[in-house]
């Protein structure tokens, strides 16, 4: 998987999220207490912007209809057959990189 630079680390401080476009995909990048997580940024339910969702204990709640996804796996908290997609994130220097298929 190619790694794509999506942001500078300083642009995603702990407790925040950022929506980015990389490799033709909309991604939501979250900084959960210093751990970066990346999921597809569009909720599979109705297309809500996951980067605008509330995060509690590593779970993001879509702001449109309340669907919830585990940021570590991308899976829906009620139906694990539904997924927001999950991408590996790493930091090199100040660059935040995401592995894309």
Residue matched to tokens 């220097």: 93
Confidence band for 79, pLDDT divided at 50, 70 and 90: very high
Q: What is the mean pLDDT of the chain?
A: 96
Rounded CA separation 77/19 (Å)? 21
Q: What architecture does CATH give domain 3-99?
A: 3-layer Sandwich (2.102)
- Tens digits of residue pLDDT in 15-40: 999 999 999 999 999 999 999 999 99
Using the predicted structure, report yes or no on whether residue 1 has a pLDDT greater than 80. no
Nearest to 68 by CA among 26, 57, 34, 32: 57
Q: Give strand pairing partners of 17.
A: 30
pTM above 0.85, yes or no: yes
Using the predicted structure, report yes or no on whether residue 101 has a pLDDT greater than 90. no
Rounded CA separation 75/83 (Å)? 4
């Amino acid at each position: 998987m190619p790694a794509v630079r999506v942001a500078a680390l300083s642009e995603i401080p702990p407790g925040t999220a950022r929506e980015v476009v990389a490799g033709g995909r909309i991604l939501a990048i979250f900084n959960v207490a210093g751990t970066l997580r990346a999921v597809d940024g569009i909720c599979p339910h109705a297309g809500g912007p996951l980067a605008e969702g509330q995060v509690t204990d590593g779970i993001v709640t879509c702001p449109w209809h309340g669907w919830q996804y585990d940021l570590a796996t991308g899976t829906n908290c009620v139906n694990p057959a539904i997924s927001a997609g999950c991408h590996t994130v790493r930091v090199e220097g100040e660059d935040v990189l995401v592995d894309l298929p």
